[in-house]
Amino acid sequence: MAKEKFDIIQSTCIPIQIDNCNTDLIIPARYLASTTRDPKFFGDAFMHDLRFDAEDNPVKDFVMNQPEYAEAPRKGVHEIIVGGQNWGSGSSREHAAWAIAGYGVRVVISSSFADIHRNNLLNCFVLPVIVSKEFQQELFDSIAANPQTEVKVDVPNQTVTNIATGNSEHFDINSYKKYCLMNAYDDIDFLLSNKDKIEAYEQTPSALSGISPSMGRAMQDGNLTNNEPDETLTTNEPDGNLPIEGETSEGQRGSVPVVEATNEAPAEAPAEEVVPIEVTTHHESEPFVPKKLLPINRGLASFFFLSIVTLGIYGIVVLAKISSEINTVATRYDGRKTTNYLWIIFLWSWLTGGIVPLVWFHCLSNRIGNELQRRQIPYSFGASDYWLWCVLGACVGFLPLVYTHKLLSAMNLLNADYNQKG
């Protein structure tokens, strides 16, 4: 991601007033399988399924497609997002931060962030700014009144200011991350910037494997060798008392460390030898990537009208597509496969006097209901709806339309969940 020094950022904003905007919304799961790190690729995927419909046409009602906010970020324009509460909740995918940075955003303001997402933003050179809920709402109100409202983020002084009202709030940031942002350093850059200090420290006695400063100096001077043990390490005192450094005794053999009297703070004890541990990396299963987005906006009115105009052909085609879509959505979980509706209506319906279509609709409805429950989608649908509204309701005449409405709505929900999560 682009590395730019942070100082004072003053820009118009993109208001995304969505509470609990999770990482699945920020970037859909199907993009996680990509191996590229091209910022533009992830920037184009930012909020994709809210910005575009199933046919990849812009959703006019979404804020980022409105003329006031559609312009891509540049210096002083849309470099700041004002988001809803609990921004970046959900999974810990770093791709969400890549998408925000790739789109060109430099600051995200919210009243709360998911902790992992907040750290991911900092690592991608995007500053997360936490403000009070009252100040957050003030920003939303000012931007709604005038989309050209600017917000100033002063990183050195850690303040954020609403230019329209003049009100400011202080925000907190880790001092290390603040230093890195202001110098355009990532973690490796920071280490390299301190290379001389690290190399100088490595030459000091205290950096030598936990030995005393005097022994470190002796080793540097060449006074200790493998063949000539240092006298200061030898003792033959039977009571275990240690001689003063530089004194020796004859008799017993033995080597003990000498504790040097000094005004300096005592050196830390040598760390125990660490036995290398073999680390087994756990590879999670690859995320399922849909080949294409499934439709999520089928409605009863268009279904009914087009079926009448086409003498029922449109309804048959939609049901055939639904039979394929439920296999796409559910087969990898339940291991089942619904027969395509074209075979049912043009072959089995004639051969069985209409019995197989009854069974087919029963099984289809039941399978859709089970998949709704498995995905924890709060919508009631099942085989009972088919028998109640479509079969028994046929006596009234229009009640089968209730079942058709519930069927289309259930598939819209399943398809939307599949488009987002796979």
Asked if pLDDT for residue 144 goes beyond 60, the answer is: yes
In the structure, what pLDDT confidence band is assigned to residue 400 with cuts at 50, 70 and 90? confident
Both tokens assigned to 391: 């079969």
pLDDT in tens, 166-212: 999 999 999 999 999 999 999 899 999 999 888 888 888 766 555 55
Structure confidence at residue 113 (pLDDT):
95
Asked if pLDDT for residue 242 goes beyond 50, the answer is: no
pLDDT in tens, 308-334: 999 989 989 999 999 999 999 988 888
Calpha distance 201→203 (Å, rounded): 5
In the structure, what pLDDT confidence band is assigned to residue 276 with cuts at 50, 70 and 90? very low
The β-bridge partners of 13 are 80
What does CATH list as the number for 8-193? 3.20.19.10
Structure confidence at residue 290 (pLDDT):
60
Both tokens assigned to 413: 């929900």
Q: Are strands 150-154 and 159-162 parallel, antiparallel or unpaired?
A: antiparallel
> For the whole model, what pTM was predicted?
0.52
Angle at 153 between CA 150 and CA 157, to 5 degrees: 145
Structure confidence at residue 1 (pLDDT):
57
Least confident of 16-20, 92-96, 191-195, 347-351: 347-351
Both tokens assigned to 184: 């355009």
Instruction: Encode 164-186 in three state secondary structure.
Output: CCCCEEECCCCHHHHHHHHHCCC
Domain coordinates of the chain in residue numbers?
8-193, 300-421
